Structure 1
């Protein structure tokens, strides 16, 4: 059995169903991200793993133990909260060692553990300060240090970076990733930030309305999202969704892109078995902004590239890229172009699209058409 196994876990308050049957398994040393918008149930699930909330039904195993009815202190976990939850009257040293004292760890061993953790997190010079003398990032390091001192089976992080400013959030994200790589610890991490999810986790559970909409590696979820929700949630800027009709020509799947004055057939590749029932029917074409770009940025060795023309409506420089918004089939479409491509609002630009990497979705079920 792996480090964490969640089997058909449900949570209800009366007739209100918060979690509707969650199934997740991760192995020792894996970094699991629970990601989704506010109210999707991710923090509730984390609290149930921690033992802070009861389970309505289902099973949670940590290691080889069923922990449904175990109190938090007996689950061999450590939790890092969004609010840091430091004791304001204690020094950093005392905050880190407090849990060790409760467990009656010998004083010499406590000292060695605190020094090891402080060195790892680069807070040795802060050990005699109190929380009100620390910055937000330093407080977060102390909170992490208190968890690391426990050396538990499972670390639980509840949106630990959400109170930090953007620059510090990126720095701390790197710190957490390096920490995981060095220690090989098993982590469950809750966030609503899909960039955090993609950069930190090696397994992601994308949640919505108390359900896991997809569970997999970051690349699997990015390249082959299971449905429109996952496709739109993961990726920045979000995937473009273009209504179209699926056609077939010489065994090829084709959709047509209309910019208002011209129509361009986009060849998606050989028509698959799952796609065949949709020929002549409405579908949703999903294509990421990086798969639409300017001619200069296009990879010339790709055999499936096609030229389309579009009227530029908005340009948004981001530094390394410029996001160019135009319209096809009556909806706004974002392309990722080189900043020197010379795109300007009002002009008609020639773009390069790689439709072979596009996805098709069923408009009714919203599931990806395999």
Structure 2
């Protein structure tokens, strides 16, 4: 196992294009770090810099307290699992797993023991004599992981390993990777554009955009307390609702004006009036997760907070089985809520939704940063 420290790291390509702009990340031995963001955010470049496949323009990368900026990939004691599997088609599974061991001239008897141990861990013992062309996508990914495991490195690097799999297989492989981490306890750095993978797998998440880490922390902390509008909208499925409206005084506190087309009123907010006093009379963006807008049948699932009823006109419904997504207009923008399937709301009819603002967040529209 090994800790990882990324300190004020920059990457600029020879053509002058900046890719990473002062990245700071620290994880402890055995932690599972997720680098998540859209295409072009710099996450894969950062992974390649940890691996030694890309040079560092400025800053420092340390693995287990040792600066590795000038170390070659083979001297960093890391193993990488690629999106494309990168298996040798003419070799059997056994030969693919043991390929790196052969290069390092590990004795044959020891190679056999390592391959059997790895195959047993990944439940692919019955596949050892097959070739990659005879395997499914999930089996090939297991073999690619097995080849990395055979190295017994201090750190694993995963570069979007599940993006080539179908939806059902991705869910299964997520569980496999999580179980593997629990068994081995090895430090893992995992790149993905899928925020569900990020939430389900990571101990720590670094949300990236345009070469900058927008927020770094535990998955639930990022979900509940996003630092800005980008993070709030990127993490969560369906994404957080953003309702723009004017802050007004409401009794001894503050609220936000709402207009649903069938009702108008003020939604009371839980924030200290002193904290947002300077925004009274100004436009803000209220962020509410879909599960925080619900119906009477689901209200018992809501923790804390005073539920405030708002009448809306239903635009569209999407039944998902365990709940139903209800889309409606609030302040001229479509929002999504989660209601009990038995409520059976119908499009183009009015319905009463219950707003729980106990975990609401406020953003400034001018800079998209969080206010409260």
Which range, TM-score by smaller chain?
A: over 0.9
Indicate the RMSD between aligned Cα atoms, in angstroms: 1.4
Deviation at 1:272, TM superposition (A): 4.8
Structure-2 residue corresponding to 1:251 = 252
The answer as to 2:317 corresponding to 1:315 is yes
- CA shift digits 1:109-130 (9 cap, x unpaired): 1111110000000000011111
Distance in 2 (CA, whole Å) between partners of 1:301 and 1:127 is: 50
Structure-2 residue corresponding to 1:11 = 11
Tell me the SS of whatever aligns to 2:343.
coil
Is the CA contact 2:157–2:189 (under 8 Å) kept in the aligned structure 1? yes
Structure-2 residue corresponding to 1:111 = 112
Structure-2 residue corresponding to 1:338 = 340
Structure-2 residue corresponding to 1:164 = 165
Structure-1 residue corresponding to 2:134 = 133
Is the CA contact 2:250–2:268 (under 8 Å) kept in the aligned structure 1? no
Distance in 2 (CA, whole Å) between partners of 1:128 and 1:301 is: 53
Q: Paired residues, what number?
A: 370
Structure-1 residue corresponding to 2:36 = 35
Deviation at 1:270, TM superposition (A): 4.2
Structure 1 residues 303 and 164: alpha-carbon distance in aligned structure 2, compared to 1, 3 A threshold: closer
Structure-2 residue corresponding to 1:325 = 327
- CA shift digits 1:193-212 (9 cap, x unpaired): 00000000010000001110
Deviation at 1:2, TM superposition (A): 6.3
Runs of 4+ in structure 1 off by over 6 angstroms are none
- CA shift digits 1:92-122 (9 cap, x unpaired): 1111111111112121111111100000000
- Trace 1:1-370 onto structure 2 (pairs within 5 A): 3-13=3-13, 14-299=15-300, 302-370=304-372
Structure 1 stretch 292-301 or stretch 118-127: which is displaced more?
Answer: 292-301
Structure 1 stretch 197-206 or stretch 265-274: which is displaced more?
Answer: 265-274
Distance in 1 (CA, whole Å) between partners of 2:309 and 2:104 is: 67
Structure 1 residues 98 and 303: alpha-carbon distance in aligned structure 2, compared to 1, 3 A threshold: closer
Tell me the SS of whatever aligns to 2:269.
strand
Is the CA contact 2:2–2:155 (under 8 Å) kept in the aligned structure 1? no
Distance in 2 (CA, whole Å) between partners of 1:297 and 1:165 is: 32
Distance in 1 (CA, whole Å) between partners of 2:303 and 2:186 is: 41
